[in-house]
Amino acid sequence: AQTVTQSQPEMSVQEAETVTLSCTYDTSESDYYLFWYKQPPSRQMILVIRQEAYKQQNATENRFSVNFQKAAKSFSLKISDSQLGDAAMYFCAYRSGQGDSGPYKYIFGTGTRLKVLA
């Protein structure tokens, strides 16, 4: 079975600085997707970034980028120029990419609480 591990329960970063959140996963599949979601206190999970396992290039979305190391099964999130609005719980998630038969469910890590200091 697949597992996702986030070993940092809490991280802090100064406003305008850069922070990296760690995620490791375990799978025997070769085709899958990885995601980072942000969950502010309002509880709404917001997609931050996605990475397809078959792509070697790391995904980037504005100030957010990932370091995807497939062999090491590592998927870290880098937030540049941190803003107060980035403060939230961040969850790493795995989804199998096994074609039409699924499974399509997400497997989540336990989350990292990010605090942004003014």
Partner 1 sequence: GAGVSQSPRYKVAKRGQDVALRCDPISGHVSLFWYQQALGQGPEFLTYFQNEAQLDKSGLPSDRFFAERPEGSVSTLKIQRTQQEDSAVYLCASSLALFPEQYFGPGTRLTVT
Provide the pairing of β-strand 112-117 with 10-14: parallel
Q: Could you list the residues that contact partner 1 (CB under 8 A)?
A: 4, 33, 35, 37, 42-47, 50, 52, 91, 93, 95, 97, 100, 102-111
The torsion angles phi and psi of 86, rounded to 5 degrees, stand at -80, -10
Minimum separation from the CB atom of position 74 to partner 1 (A) = 18
Which is nearer to partner 1, 12 or 14 (by Cβ)?
12
> Which one, of 41, 38, 65, 70, lies nearest residue 54 by Cα?
70
Q: How far is the CB of 33 from partner 1 (least distance, A)?
A: 4
Q: Cβ contacts of residue 98 below 8 Å, gap of 6+?
A: 29, 31
Q: Between residues 16 and 47, which has the closer beta carbon with respect to partner 1? A: 47
Minimum distance from residue 44 beta carbon to partner 1 (Å):
5
